[in-house]
Amino acid sequence: MTTILTVDDSTSMRQMVSFTLKEAGYDVVEAKDGVDGLSKAKNSKFNLIITDVNMPEMDGISLVKALRAITRYKFTPILLLTTEAGPDIKQEGKAAGATGWLVKPFNPDQLLNTIVKVVG
């Protein structure tokens, strides 16, 4: 079973992502910010992590860095959800170790197409 962690401080976005993925048959765990996401990631094993960038407590970039420091997440795909398509955030995300990104707004199909790319 593919288990996905979705981290977003916006409940509606998180629920949308989570609902779409669940409908597609994935196991989904939600976290409300970077700190919550990191602690959930530590207590479990996810095959994919999708995180928002701009969040209180711990932002998406810091979360990626923290996850990459954990051995079992060294190669796990981590996707950033971002409203910014500019080179800055991409560079920053890549430098932190993010696998890729998905630019908001996206619809459920676009989300699933991207997910399928990374986890099959």
Partner 1 sequence: MTIDLSQFHAIFLEESFEGLQVMESSLLNMIEGETDVDIINNIFRAAHSIKGGSATFGFSNVAALTHVLETLLDEFRSDKRIVTKDLISLLLESVDCVRDMLSAIQDGGKYNESSAIEVQNKLQQVLTGEILSINNPDEAEEIESDVQGWRILFSPYPSMLQNGNDPFRIIREIQSLGSVKIEVDLEKLPILAELDPEDCYLSWEILLHAAVSKDEINEVFEWVIDDCDLKIEPIGSDVVIQDTDNEIIEEMLSTAANARDDVVKGDQESESLSRLSPEVKHKRTTNSGSIRVGIDKVDEMINMVSELVITQSMLGQLGEDFTMVDIEKLKEGLCQLERNTRELQESVMRIRMLPISFVFNRFPRMIRDLSNELGKQVELRLSGEQTEVDKTVMEKIGDPLIHLVRNSLDHGLEKPDIRVANGKPEIGILHLNAYHKGGSIIIEISDDGAGLDRDKIRNKAIQNGLIADDDILTDEKIYDLIFQAGFSTADQVSDVSGRGVGMDVVRKNIRELGGSIVIKSTPGEGSKITIHLPLTLAIMDGQLVRVGDEIYIIPLVSIIESLQIKPEKVKSITGKMELYKLREEYLNITRLYQLFTLTPDSEDINDGLLVVVEGDGAKVGLYVDELLGQQQVVIKSLETNYKHINGVSGATILGDGTVAMILDVPGLIAISKDRAENTVERVA
Binding residue for partner 1 (CB under 8 A) from 15, 39, 42, 69?
A: 15
State CA 112 to chain mean position distance: 13
Binding characters for partner 1, 19-58, by CB under 8 A (x = yes): xx--xxxx------------------x-x----x-xxx--
Judged by CB under 8 A, does residue 4 bind partner 1?
A: no
Binding residue for partner 1 (CB under 8 A) from 7, 16, 36, 43?
A: 16
Judged by CB under 8 A, does residue 107 bind partner 1?
A: yes
Judged by CB under 8 A, does residue 86 bind partner 1?
A: no
